[in-house]
Structure 1
Amino acid sequence: MPLFFPTVVLPLVSAQFKCPEKFGSYEDPKQCDKYYECDEGKATEKLCPDGLVFDPLNRKVNKCDQPFNVDCGDRIELQEPHSNHLCPRKNGFFAHPDESVCHVFYNCIDGDAVESKCPTGLHFDEYSGTCVWPAAAGRTGCGEKQESLKDGFSCPKEGQVSDHGQVLAHPKYPHPNDCQKFYVCLNGVTPREQGCPLGEVYSEETQRCEQPEDVPGCEDWYKDNEEVKQLKGKKRKE
């Protein structure tokens, strides 16, 4: 169900603003959350609910929207905020007031805050109003501890992106010294060591276990492994 934010109507008819058309809603040239409602060529000055801004390109009747959805351009001024402890403005999506808590945010509706949490490993970004990888959010001082394995491997903060531009939920990384092994980062943050079946090696290019001769640098990984030689001998006889 779409949220309805009542428009704040200012009491005076604007004598300065000239309506481009007899009817319609038009932005203020300086203040992003102020606009004018024209009726028979007379302009009534109005304000969006605190925290929302006016989008002249919005085709809806109510053109007030979240700031991250609107390009205010040179309209840099805003009304005075009506804030409380969790809501810097009465409406919008806001980060936790403790800067070290990066995965918790609040959806404020008319001053009432609803707490939400980002999926594991992601941080809330106020500029986009969404949860993103820590590197994209660019927040500092976050209190989340980065888990590491005994060999020192920890999941890179920037994550991995597929060929189609999608962020991989469980990215994989090659082991630096062992062609048979690789790492999986669950939800991008929790590292787990995995291994290919005996006789195969991990390919960073395909992100799968492949035959050694198909993976540059790992062609001779099993050359002195007697168990692999026996397996290959059995396959030839079969």
Structure 2
Amino acid sequence: MLSKNACEVLFGACLLIFCLPGFSEAVGDYSELCRLFKNGTNIRKPGTCDEYIHCSDGEGIMKFCEGTTPYYNSIKQECVKELSNSHLYCGNRCEGRNGTWVSDPTNCEQYFYCRDGVPLAGACPIGQHFSESSQACMHGVDSQCVDVANICEILPENTAFRYEDDCSYYYVCKNSKQTLTKCKSKLYFNVETGDCVARNLVACDAHSKEGVCAASSKVVFKSDSATCRGYFICKAFGTVADLDPLWNQCPEGTFFDEGRQLCGKATDVVCTHNRCDGRGTMLVVSSKNYCHNYIQCVDGLEVAESTCHFDHFFDEVIQACSSKIIYDNCCDEQPNSS
């Protein structure tokens, strides 16, 4: 059996196989990082000392420090005269190190081997990320690296940002490291407020799959519990539950009915998530208060809920309250929860 030291030497040799002499730091369009952060966030451009990205309406605007304040300080969020511990910001990450590996701040797959303070660049095999804490390449699915390595080194403490694989989780920067955090049950992370909120208030592209499917001998469709149109397709694995179900949506104007296992007319389906889902800008009947309530939709999002006066009911056809008695299935026997 190989000793620990022998294993380390062998691993080092394996990593160095991927080293690329003369390799230069990647120059990428890091403005795409703004998709992870709230509006107004400033992010130092990875691999630079004097550039930073200002996030505005989801777009990244490149800015520069110059003159008497040539460096960008990620913690202070401003241009400064000088930086302490420069290797953590933009300088040589191998400064003062020998015989160890450090991550390349511009790329999750790349790393540097430090030889007497000199960085020798290398890259992990395709599909793997370099982990500085474990000093090894690891499968991308097991990594917390987000586009660039050590992303929290270029952000202020306590910055919260999106985890793109599941809206019920998010990252928080603690001591220059990102920590994966989970919202309480049935809540999603809202990047603009930095809080966990009701699922219907978050535009989500990665609905939580945790506990959705049970073991079944037939294909079952389950609501995503966040939207009115979205549902998961739970595959038939017999005694084993499908842990990675496929997500799909009903056509616009229809909602998913889990009881009937089909997509039905919106006014025929009880749903209290977001009844504006896929319906644009209009007024829609609510699934509360026996069809006396209606919801104002703007661009597919719920803006406000109101109640018709006296004994009137809301009629989606005429987009108004009416004295005509209406019993849409979507609100039948759904009492006002207020």
Shorter-chain TM-score range: 0.3 to 0.5
Larger Cα Rg: Structure 1 or Structure 2? Answer: 1
Task: Normalising by structure 2, report the TM-score.
Answer: 0.27
- Looking at secondary structure, tell me which structure has more strand per residue: 2
